[in-house]
Amino acid sequence: MNRHTLPARTLAGLFPKLYPDDKKLPKRILFVSAHFESKLSTGFEISSSANPTMFYDYSGFPAGTYPVKYPAKGDPALPQQVKNSLEENNIKAELVDRGFDHGVFVPMLLIRPQADIPIVSMSINSHLDNKMHFDVGRAISSFRDEDTLIFCSGQSTHNLRGVRDLSHPIVDWAVTFQDWIDDTFTSKSTLTYDQRAERTIKWQEAPGARLAHPTRDHFIPFVVAAGAGMDEKNPGAESFFGNGMAESGH
């Protein structure tokens, strides 16, 4: 893992910015990963593992990427609470035993290398539409008031074939889509909540969206995050660029 890139350095500085001097750290993290795809055709999965193992959901990488460990614990109560909340909102859910995929352990190794905050992973479901994922976010939003950080891990653009030379500056379609994200979600946005919600659900109609995301999986967590947190009157956002694609955190 290259810890010196701009995205890596930005992630490493996230907790010191949100929780200076480690004060008021979240008691747990509910983590929605683009790499955790539900096996349910019409519902979502939540990991109830007490001691999550590493799920190396990649191949062909250097040998040093496989001994990577992130020994955070699970949370004994949160999985069932999340399941209950989803079901109360007519969203099917199931508890499963699943480890941390690289959508979890890679950012968390940078964000909180101490691995001292319990993490519960939750799936996406590419069979279900954007409205359903937005509703999932709304269904879990109340956990934010219970010292739970809702962390949604994906990427603002994800088209590896569309960026042939990673040494080149950011490509035009990535800039176009990132601009749409900023205009929709950041503090400079003048849109109402309802307008933001509609744009989020219809994000595939946004300029550059089809090139930015040939498949939906890496933007679906963004939709969940919007449902969970977009009621804020003054949303904060940071955007950082590199290697031909746009990446941002909101």
Residue 96 pLDDT > 50: yes
pLDDT the model gives residue 184: 86
The pLDDT tens digits for 36-56 are: 999 999 999 999 999 999 877
C-alpha 68/C-alpha 81 separation (Å) is 30
The pLDDT tens digits for 218-240 are: 899 999 999 998 875 655 555 55
The pLDDT tens digits for 195-208 are: 999 999 999 998 98
pTM above 0.95, yes or no: no
Structural domains in the chain, sorted by start: 1-153 (3.40.830.10), 156-250 (3.40.830.10)
The pLDDT tens digits for 100-117 are: 998 899 899 999 999 999
State how far the alpha carbon of 168 is from the alpha carbons of 164, 212, 243, 244, in Å: 9, 16, 6, 6
Find out whether 213 and 219 touch, Cβ atoms under 8 Å.
Answer: yes
